Amino acid sequence: MTPATAHSTDYSLGFSSLGDERALEELPLTGAIPDWLSGSMLRTGPARFEVGEQRMRHWFDGQAMLHRFGVAGGRVSYANRFLEGRAYRAAEAKGEIAYGEFATDPCRSLFKRAQVLFAPGSAFTDNANVNVTRLGERFIAMTETPMPVQFDAETLAAAGVRPHEVPGQLTTAHPHADRNSGGLLNYAAKLGRRSSYRFFEVPRDGREATVVGSAPVREPAYMHSFGLSERWFVLAEFPFVVDPLQLALQRRPYIENYRWKPERGTRFTLVDRRSGETVGGFEGEACFGFHHVNAYDGDGEVVVDICVFPDAGVVEDLYLDRLRVGKPVGSAELVRFRLDLERRTVERRPLSEQGVELPRIAYGRCNERPHRYVWGVDQGESGWIEKIVKVDIDDGSARAWQRPGCSPSEPVFVARPGAEAEDDGVLLSVVLDAERETSSLLVLDAATLEELASAEAPHHIPFGFHGQFFRD
pLDDT digits (tens, 9 = 90+) for 355-372: 999 999 999 999 999 999
Q: Output the CA–CA distances (angstroms, integers) from residue 454 to 28, 39, 224, 265, in the order listed.
A: 8, 16, 31, 44
Does the pLDDT of residue 4 top 50, yes or no? no
CA dist 83 and 66 (Å) reads: 6
Give the separation between CA 233 and CA 235, rounded to whole angstroms. Answer: 6
Q: Which of 388, 459, 395 is nearest to 426 (CA)?
A: 388
The reported pLDDT for the residue numbered 113 is 53
Overall average pLDDT of the 388-408 stretch: 97
pLDDT digits (tens, 9 = 90+) for 236-274: 999 999 999 888 777 789 999 999 999 999 999 999 999
Q: Mean pLDDT over all residues of the chain?
A: 94
Task: List, for residues 283-341, the tens digit of each pLDDT value.
Answer: 999 999 999 999 999 999 999 999 999 999 999 999 999 999 999 999 999 999 999 99
Q: What is the DSSP letter of 262?
A: G
Q: How far is it, in rounded angstroms, from Cα 367 to Cα 37?
A: 22
H or E element at residue 390: strand 385-392
| Adjacent-strand bridge partners of 335 | 306, 350
**Pairwise pLDDT comparison (253 vs 120), residue with the higher score:** 253
What percent of the chain has a predicted confidence (pLDDT) above 70? 95
Average confidence (pLDDT) over 13-34: 98
Task: Give just the sign of the alpha carbon dihedral 93, 96, 98, 101.
Answer: positive
Identify which of 374, 412, 373, 404 has the alpha carbon closest to the alpha carbon of residue 387: 404
Rounded to the nearest angstrom, the gap between the alpha carbon of residue 32 and the centroid of all alpha carbons in its chain is 29
In the chain, % of residues over pLDDT 90: 90
Q: pLDDT at position 247, please?
A: 85
Task: Give the pLDDT band (50/70/90) at residue 468.
Answer: very high
Is residue 136 over pLDDT 80?
yes
Using pLDDT thresholds of 50, 70 and 90, give the confidence band for residue 119. Answer: low
**Whole-number pLDDT of residue 456:** 98
Size of the chain in residues: 472
Mind listing the pLDDT tens digit for each residue in 147-199? 999 999 999 999 977 888 899 999 999 999 999 999 999 999 999 889 999 99
Segment 226-244 shows an average pLDDT of 97
- CB of 407 closer than 8 Å to CB of 434: yes
Q: Report the distance separating Cα 378 and Cα 357, nearest Å.
A: 6
Q: What pLDDT is stored for residue 161 in this prediction?
A: 78
- pTM for this entry: 0.94
Tell me how far CA of residue 262 lies from CA of 73, 106, 259, 302, 465, in angstroms.
Answer: 53, 31, 10, 24, 27
- Rounded to an integer, the average pLDDT of 63-82 is 98
Q: pLDDT value at position 112? A: 55
Helix (H, G, I), strand (E, B) or coil at 210: strand
Nearest Cα neighbor of 62 from 90, 106, 96, 101 is 101
